Every structure is written in structure tokens, then in C-alpha cells.
Amino acid sequence: DIVMTQSPFSLAVSEGEMVTINCKSSQSLLSSGNQKNYLAWYQQKPGQSPKLLIYYASTRQSGVPDRFIGSGSGTDFTLTISDVQAEDLADYYCLQHYSYLTFGSGTKLEIK
């Protein structure tokens, strides 16, 4: 089974700052067939269902602001949120869908 290690557990930033969330997989998520990384990022606001932000490691889902940026390949991935807004208060999860589905443990983003 693929294990996803996500960090940090939590972070607190002020509005306008940038945050970086990391996710590391126990094996490569890069498909040799189509050269796509099977890694997605989700945002879960308090009391809500998760929302897809990024898929294929770096493709933003329709309607997602461009301050959300996914990067990385193989086993190491990053979600960067630039110019953090108060509305970005949420838990963030990475998800590998290369082999079945495995979520990272989550990162709680707090706004100072």
C-alpha cells in the first residue's frame, strides 16, 4: 500500500502571506503511460465536505483561485497558497490515486 506523509500538522499565518504544505509518497505516483502524477489536493472548510483543488499534481480544478498552486513529481509534492485569505481557513489533504486511494494525514491552516 502507498503511504502518504503530509507536513506540517498545522500552521498559522497572517493574511497576505504564503504557505507551503508538503506531501511525500512511499512510491512514485508518476504514470509511465501518460507522464501524469496521480496526486490531488483537497480543501475542507469547517463543517463542510472536502473540495477538490488540484489534480494531476498541478492542474487546478475549475473555479479554484490561481493563488493555489500544486507542484512536484514522483514522490514529493507541494501545495502553495500565495496571498492567503481569511476564507482559506481549512484543513488541507493530499490524495494519491495511483493505486487505490490514500489520503495524507491533513494540515490545519489557521489565520492569525
Partner 1 sequence: EVQLVESGGGLVQPGRSLKLSCVASGFTFSNYGMNWIRQAPGKGLEWVAYISSGSSYIYYAETVKGRFTISRDNAKNTLYLQMTSLRSEDTALYYCARQGIAAIPLDYWGQGVMVTVSS
Residues of this chain that interact with partner 1 (CB under 8 A) are 1, 36, 38, 40, 42, 44, 49-52, 55-56, 61, 91, 93, 95, 97, 100-106
Closest distance between partner 1 and the C-beta of residue 52, in Å? 5
Nearer to partner 1, 41 or 81 (CB): 41
Residue 83 beta carbon to partner 1: minimum distance, rounded to whole angstroms: 25
Using DSSP, how many helices (H) and how many strands (E) does the chain show? Answer: 0, 11
Question: Residue 3 or 18: which CB sits closer to partner 1?
Answer: 3
On whether the CB atoms of residues 73 and 67 are closer than 8 A, the answer is no
Distance CA 18, CA 79 (A): 11
C-alpha cell at 72: 512536484
